[in-house]
Chains A and B, each alone.
Chain A
Amino acid sequence: MSTNNLRVTLEQSVKYRGRTGQWAWIFHRLSGLGVLLFLTVHIADTSMVYFYPPLYEEALKLYKSVPFGIGELALAAALLYHGLNGIRVALVDFEPNLTRYQRQMWIAVWALFALGYAVTLSIMVPELLHAAGWM
């Protein structure tokens, strides 16, 4: 291997200067990987309801902990962004003429994200504070 793959990737990512399109892409990739990582563990632990309930009980203790509650807020953000940006990707894929409005569509994604996340926070933060004993 004559060129270091990681180095080339990082160098070129900086040089590309793709602006909003490039950010949209990297956030989509990172959020997807993050959700997948969680999902794999989540499927395994929930299946313990059938295979070995004591392990599920242990998992629940973790899920109800405050650090994990904070992690859930990050998960919600990742999921919401990935889904909304995904719609944008699919729309442009099926109607390429929409490429002209790429930037506006990304702004719309963030607007919807802000809305959805505000609702999510308004419900999950009080619950988290209550679990932490601060409310």
Chain B
Amino acid sequence: MTTTTLPSQVTVRKLRRRPRSLESYAWLFMRLSGAGLLLLALGHWVMIHFIQGVQNVTTEWVIASRWAWTWIRVWDFLLLGLAFVHGLNGFHTVIVDYVHNSTALKVIRLLIVAGGAVILLMGAVAIILTPMR
């Protein structure tokens, strides 16, 4: 029967003196972005569904009544970046739970990053470059 000795306070402080890993930043990002997304995403929902109504959405409305306002473009840009990266990271977490082959993981990670970048760029370009009214 072995007993575990808890590390002394000095040891604990010495142990923590290593840089934060990418994973622990990702962990923090999920919580912080999640909090921000609550406002951004639910606000977006209110704007589209409650205030305008899906049946009343038109291309003209998007360009003239939404993206004519810079603050809405900024909102949509933040929503895009935070939501999609938050989602992709979550997706990666799920994948890692079920896929254990290291080659398969490398391929899947590449696909997530590449595919994610394409979608993200499409959205960003649209929000930034659609001509201002």
**CB pair B42 A93 closer than 8 Å:** no
Prevailing SS type, chain B contact patch: helix
Q: Is the CB of B50 within 8 A of A90?
A: no
* Beta-carbon contacts under 8 Å, B77-133 to A: 80, 83-84, 87-88, 90-91, 94, 98-101, 119-120, 122-123, 125-126, 129-130
Contacts A9-B98, A36-B88, A69-B54 given; indicate if A123 touches B49 (C-beta within 8 A): yes
Q: Are B87 and A60 in contact (CB under 8 A)?
A: no
In the complex, the answer to whether B130 meets A49 with C-beta atoms within 8 Å is: yes
Pick the residue among B54, B59, B119 that contacts A44 (CB under 8 A): B119
Q: CB-CB contacts of A17-57 with B at 8 A, as 1s and 0s?
A: 00000000000010011011001100110111111010011
Cβ contacts under 8 Å, A63 to chain B: 54, 57
Give every chain A residue within 8 A of B129 (Cβ-Cβ).
50
Does the CB pair B55–A64 fall under 8 Å? Answer: yes
Point out the residues of chain A lying under 8 angstroms from B55, CB to CB: 64, 127, 130-131
The docked-state distance in angstroms from the alpha carbon of A80 to that of B59 is 27
Please determine whether B58 and A60 come into contact, CB atoms closer than 8 angstroms.
yes
Which chain A residue shows the least CB distance to B90?
A: A32
Given A64-B54, A87-B38, A49 and B91 contact (CB-CB distance below 8 Å): no
Contact between A49 and B123 (Cβ–Cβ < 8 Å)? Answer: no
With A29-B94, A32-B90 as contacts: A50 and B130 at CB distance below 8 Å: yes
With A49-B62, A124-B49 in contact, do A90 and B122 touch (Cβ < 8 Å)?
no
Question: If A29-B94, A36-B90 touch, does A43 touch B125 (CB 8 Å cutoff)?
Answer: no
B63 contact set on A, CB distance < 8 A: 49
Which of B5-13, B15-23, B29-37 is the contact stretch? B29-37
Not counting A51-B122, A53-B59, A89-B31, a sample of 7 additional A-B residue pairs whose C-beta atoms are within 8 angstroms of each other reads A29-B94, A32-B90, A35-B87, A49-B130, A63-B57, A90-B31, A90-B35
